[in-house]
Amino acid sequence: MRLVMLAAGGLSLIAGCAPKRPPGRRVLSDDDAGLLGAIADRIIPPDAWPGGRENGVVAFIDRQLDGPYRRFRGEYRRGLDAVTESCLGKYRKRFELLSAEEQNTLLGEMESGSLRDGGWKEGFSKRFFELVRSHAMQAYYGSPRHGGNPDYASYKMMGIDYPQVIGQNRYRP
């Protein structure tokens, strides 16, 4: 049995056999993560507190796309590609390079469902925006154990303590 495990593990050393993922990420490429981070910062902009990107939205979504949100992988692929296509077609540059006003305009069009060209057929822009916004909020305000909200930043922002979970032996007598 050991020989079989060693042989199987050795396959990942052969070029082209292992999936090409950036270190620390499970599903998203560098480009996907950059785009998603820029979108997260428009949905939850940084101010005195961290914005969406800094507070782990990308890490949360990447982690969840490799687990419970696996069913959304196709929608993320299609949506991120459509955002890039729309930006290149309309502004001749990637979303990350647009001004904040241009980014807000595009996201507003997505949210209203008014984008219809390219990959945005059948109201997909509105559904995709709602999906990303929902996941961004879960990441930002959820428990760090799920991949987002490192150092409990949103809990500190709202002035609440870390919620105690039954069975963790963290209750004070």
Q: What's the pLDDT band for 11 if we cut at 50, 70, 90? A: very low
Q: Could you tell me where the DSSP H helices lie in the chain?
A: 2-11, 30-43, 57-65, 73-90, 100-112, 124-141, 153-158
Check residue 147 and give its pLDDT. 78
Query: Which of 131, 132, 151, 135 is closest to 143 using CA atoms?
Result: 151
Residue 14: predicted pLDDT: 41
How far is 106 from 108, CA to CA, in rounded Å? 5
CB–CB of 36/28 below 8 Å?
yes
CA distance 87 to 163: 41
**164 or 96, higher pLDDT:** 96
Q: Provide the pLDDT confidence category of residue 12 given band limits of 50, 70 and 90.
A: very low
* Spatial CA neighbour of 20 closest among 34, 35, 30, 10: 30
pLDDT digits (tens, 9 = 90+) for 136-159: 999 888 887 777 778 777 777 788
pTM score: 0.78
| Interval 51-76 mean pLDDT | 93
**Alpha-carbon distances of 160 from 33, 113, 119, 168, rounded to whole Å:** 30, 36, 41, 18
Q: Is the model more confident about 81 or about 56? A: 81
C-alpha pair distances (Å), 7 with each of 11, 13, 15, 17: 7, 10, 15, 13
Span 26-55, pLDDT tens digits: 899 999 999 999 999 999 999 888 888 988
How many CB atoms are closer than 10 A to CB 40? Answer: 27
Upper half-sphere CA count for residue 14 (Cβ side, 13 Å): 6
